[in-house]
Amino acid sequence: MATPSLLILPGDGIGPEVMAEVRKVIDWCGTRGLAFDVEEDLVGGAAYDAHGTPLADATMEKAQQVDAVLLGAVGGPKYDVLDFSVKPERGLLRLRKEMDLYANLRPAQCFDALADFSSLKKDVVAGLDIMIVRELTSGVYFGEPRGIHTEGNERVGINTQRYTESEIARVARSAFELARKRSNRVCSMEKANVMESGILWREVVQEVHDREYPDVELSHMYADAGAMQLTRWPKQFDVIVTDNLFGDLLSDLAAMLTGSLGMLPSASLGAPMANGRPRALYEPVHGSAPDIAGQGKANPIACILSFAMALRYSFDRGAEADLVEKAVEGVLADGLRTADLIGEEGRTPVSTQEMGDAIVAKLAAG
Ligand code: IPM
Ligand code: MG
C-alpha cells in the first residue's frame, strides 16, 4: 500500500510548538514500520500574514488529497482587527466545510493522575470516559441568511439555525456506530422545547435509531439540562450527539471536567474517500493560547492525542494509538506536569518540549 500522507497545519500561537512534539511521535511511528509522507503548510493568521487569506486555495486542495490533516490552532489578538471574512477562524471553518467533516468526535477522558485537578470532586470525574459527537458543518455557524444589516435606525445581527434531515441522520449514524464500540448508549441533545430545528433533530435521531440501531440505548435531553447533568454526574453518559452550537459549548464544558483543555483531542470525520479512509482532520480542542505562545509552557498532550486518534480512525493502527495513550498516562503517573496541570501542590512544571520528549522516551522504551 502507498505510504500514508499527512498534511500538517500548525497554525498560530502555541500551534507550532505543540505540533513540533507531535512530529516526534510521527517519527516514532516510522520505527514501527509506519512511515508517513508529511507535508507542512499554513493556516489561520500565519496564512493570512503570508497570503492575505486564512487558507490559500492550494492548501485547501492539498487537504482534499491527503489521507489526514493535523491542525494545531488558529487565531490571536493580532488578528482581531481583521475583517470577519479573513479572520483566522475562517480558515478552519473552510476546511471543515469543504472537506464536509460533519462528525466532530470530542472524547473527554479523565486520566487517573489528574482526577484531583478537576474543578469537580474526584469521585465525580475519576474514570470518566465520554464522547461528544458534535455536528460540524451545518447549523447556526453556517446557516443562511446571516449578517449584520440596518433596520430603521439600528443594526440587526442575524444567524440562522438550519438542519436538513440528511444532515441530522448522518451524524446520528456516526454516534450510533461509535456507541456500539463503547458502552452502547447515545444521548441526543437539542432544544426541542423551543426550536423547530430541535424538534426535527429529535425525530430524525429517533427514526435512525429505530430503523438501523435498535440495539443501542437512546435517550434525549434538552441541551441546557444536558449541561447541568454533565456537571452533576458526567459518568451517566457514554456518547452524546448534538448540533454544532450546543456541541461547541458542551464539549468545552466536558473538556474542563477532565482538568485541563490542554488534554483533549478531537477528530473531525467526513464520508469515506476512494481509498476507504474517511476524510479527516485532527486537532486539539484547545485554542491558540496567545498569552503563553512561544514560551514553552503549552501542553502538547491534546495535540499528541489528536494524532493518536488519527492512528485509530484514519490509519487503522489501534495498537499504536493505544501505545501513545499509554505513554501519556505513563508520564502523568510519573508526575510530569506542564504549567496548565499545576494546581496548589507547587510542583515545578516541565516545558512543552520536555513533555514531548518524555512521551517519546516512554514509547521508545516500549
Ligand atoms: C472549536 C472552536 C471553533 C468553533 C472556532 C475556533 C471557530 O471553538 O473548534 O470548538 O467554534 O468551532
Ligand atoms: Mg469551541
Segment 169-209, tens digit of pLDDT:
999 999 999 999 999 999 999 999 999 999 999 999 999 99
| Structural domain contains residue 119 | no
Q: How far is the CA of 147 from the centre of ligand 1 (A)?
A: 19
Given the C-alpha cell 469543504, which residue does it identify? Answer: 98
CB burial string 218-252: b at 16+ within 10 A, e below: bebbbbeebbebbeeebeebbbbbbbbbbbbebbb
Could you tell me if residue 13 is inside a domain?
yes
Assigned domain for 150 exists: no
CA of 270 to the centre of ligand 2 (A): 19
| For range 124-135, the mean pLDDT | 95
Distance 248 CA to ligand 2 centre (A): 5
36 domain residue, yes or no: yes
Ligand 1, atom 9, lies closest to the CA of 285
Tens digits of per-residue pLDDT, 220-262? 999 999 999 999 999 999 999 999 999 999 998 998 888 778 8
Question: Whose atoms come closest to the Cα of 249: which ligand?
Answer: 2
- Torsion angles phi and psi, residue 84, rounded to 5: -50, -40
1 pLDDT band, cuts 50/70/90, is low
Q: Are strands 68-73 and 154-160 parallel, antiparallel or unpaired?
A: unpaired
Q: Give the residue numbers annotated as catalytic, written as ranges.
A: 141, 191, 224, 248, 252
CATH of the domain at 339: 3.40.718.10
- Ligand 1 site, residue 89, Cβ cutoff 6 A: yes
- Residue 61 belongs to a domain: yes
Please give the DSSP secondary-structure letter assigned to residue 90. H
- Ligand 2 center from residue 201 Cα (angstroms): 21
CA of 283, closest atom in ligand 1: 9
Residue 254 lies in a domain: no
**In 205-353, beta strands by DSSP E:** 217-222, 239-242, 265-272, 278-284
pTM for this predicted structure:
0.94
Chain centroid to Cα 176, Å, comes to 18
Ligand 1 atom 11: residue of nearest CA: 248
Q: Is the CB of 135 under 6 A from ligand 1?
A: no
If you ran DSSP here, which 8-state letter would residue 345 be given?
T
Q: What residues have their beta carbon closer than 5 A to ion ligand 2?
A: 248
Range of the domain at 76: 1-109+260-366
Q: Is the residue at 78 inside a domain?
A: yes
Residue 345 has pLDDT above 80, yes or no: no
CA–CA separation, 171 vs 99, rounded Å? 15
Nearest residue by C-alpha to atom 2 in ligand 1:
248
Within a domain: residue 306? yes
Residue with CA at minimum distance from ligand 1 atom 10: 248
For ligand 1, the distance from its centroid to the CA atom of residue 248, given in whole angstroms, is: 7
The tally of CA atoms less than 13 A away on the side-chain side of residue 329 is 11
Which one of the ligands is nearest to 244 CA?
Answer: 1
Q: What percent of the chain has pLDDT over 70?
A: 100
Work out how many domains the chain is built from and give that number: 1
249 CB under 6 A from ligand 1? no
The residue ranges of DSSP E strands in the chain, in sequence order, are 5-11, 37-40, 68-73, 103-109, 129-135, 143-151, 154-160, 185-190, 217-222, 239-242, 265-272, 278-284
Q: Is 243 in the pocket of ligand 1 (CB under 6 A)?
A: no
